[in-house]
Amino acid sequence: MLKGAPILAGNILDAEFITNLIQHDDGYRVLSGIRNSPSHWEAEKKKVLAMIRQFGVPSLFITLSAAETRWPELLKILKFTVDKENITEEEAESLPYSEKVRLIQSDPFICATYFEIRFQELRKTWSSSVGPFGSYKINHYYYRIEFQHRGSPHAHMMLWLDKAPSFDQNNSMSTSEIEKFIDEIISCSSDEIGEDLVNLQTHRHSCYPKPGRPCRFEIPFFPMDKTEVLFELNTSDLRAKGFKQLALTLREKLESIPTEVNSFEAFLTFAGITHEEYILAIRSVLKRPKILLKRSPKDVYVNPYSKKIIQLHKVNMDIQFILDPFACSLYIVNYINKGDRSMSRLLRAAVEEAKKDNKSVQQSLRSI
């Protein structure tokens, strides 16, 4: 039997066919049709890598979260579905937090369906010339809906934009084009959106950094007077070690910037360094080229966003321009395999248990 040949009812009567199925574990291919199985995500991983190889490096990586407690229209639907009670959106918005949680937990299917519909409707605005990407047309896209531990869905998405600049480390023109492109689409300014949305975008250190270990998201971010692509400092540079120590000192200062330090120049004065020293300190801790957004000292905890997307979706989001194709591929594939890890552990445990009990192939498959 050829590996990957179709399994038909008539073939099951052939003993040699069954032996080959067992030998190559092809009987388990039926699991590839089950969403979230390791076979399913293995196929998705190959699809993503094929898209990157065929279409090149994606322009943007976007993450959109859900905020069920902040969506009064969803709470209104839940109140009617769960309690058979009609309320207005204003009444839904003023419900106690505990009541909102109860409604959300009572019908997770409606919550997930609502997020999917909302996400699809949001995407329709992206193709407009007055949408978040302006004149840049979306040529290709890939997205995955992932469920967090609390059961709330969020979307991870790659976009290939037509005529978007691509990164060439040896071409200074490409970096200036990228900086201009980013300023058109991405922002981190708290002045451009309302206070409620700023609170959504503000990092709260839910990563729980330990003493001596920085935040895994490298937040707070470094303030900048303009968006700039910075390159790592040459390790042969004798000044590198000293600037690394300066970068650590700057990290500490970022944690407690006085409110009166409200401009980039004021931050340099507060830190007691020149602009050149500041840039060299940042470069000394880089391992690869990195984009630093134009950022005020008061916005060092604000995650990057698209103004039009966040105003419509009203939920925490993240948006990044992709510089490194390898890092992008690794990042995306890791996200795709995220749900696979716990499932793989369960399946592996089932297989080991079947081996210990000397179960037949049929019994093993039933256990899995």
Residue found by looking up tokens 């480390």 in the block? 169
Predicted pLDDT of residue 19:
76
* Sign of the four-CA dihedral 108, 114, 115, 120: positive
Q: Residue 61 in 3-state DSSP? A: strand
Strands 228-230 and 153-161: unpaired
* Average pLDDT of the segment spanning 261-279: 92
Q: Phi first, then psi: what are they for 128, rounded to 5°?
A: -80, 150
Mean pLDDT of 66-70: 90
Q: What is the pLDDT of residues 338-365, one digit of tens each?
A: 655 555 666 677 777 777 777 776 777 6
Q: How far is CA 43 from CA 56, 130, 139, in A?
A: 19, 36, 22
CA distance 282 to 284: 5
In whole numbers, what is the pLDDT of the chain averaged over residues? 83
pLDDT in tens, 309-330: 999 988 899 999 988 777 766 7
Q: Tokens standing for 164? A: 């978007």
Rounded CA-CA distance 189/191 in Å is: 5
For residues 245 and 247, what is the distance between their CA atoms, to the nearest angstrom? 5
pLDDT category, 44, cuts 50, 70, 90?
confident
pLDDT at 35 over 90: no
Per-residue pLDDT tens digits for 215-224 = 777 788 999 9
Model confidence at 15, pLDDT cuts 50, 70, 90, reads confident
pLDDT of residue 4 exceeding 60: no
Nearest to 62 by CA among 128, 161, 149: 161
- Over residues 228-246, the pLDDT tens digits come to 999 988 767 666 778 888 8
Q: Would you tell me the crossing angle of helices 240-254 and 275-284 to the nearest 10 degrees?
A: 100
Which pLDDT does position 1 carry in this prediction? 46
Residue range 87-115, pLDDT digits in tens: 999 999 999 999 999 999 999 999 999 99
Is the predicted pLDDT of residue 337 greater than 70, yes or no? no
pTM over 0.85: no
Domains in the chain: boundaries:
58-202+306-321, 203-301
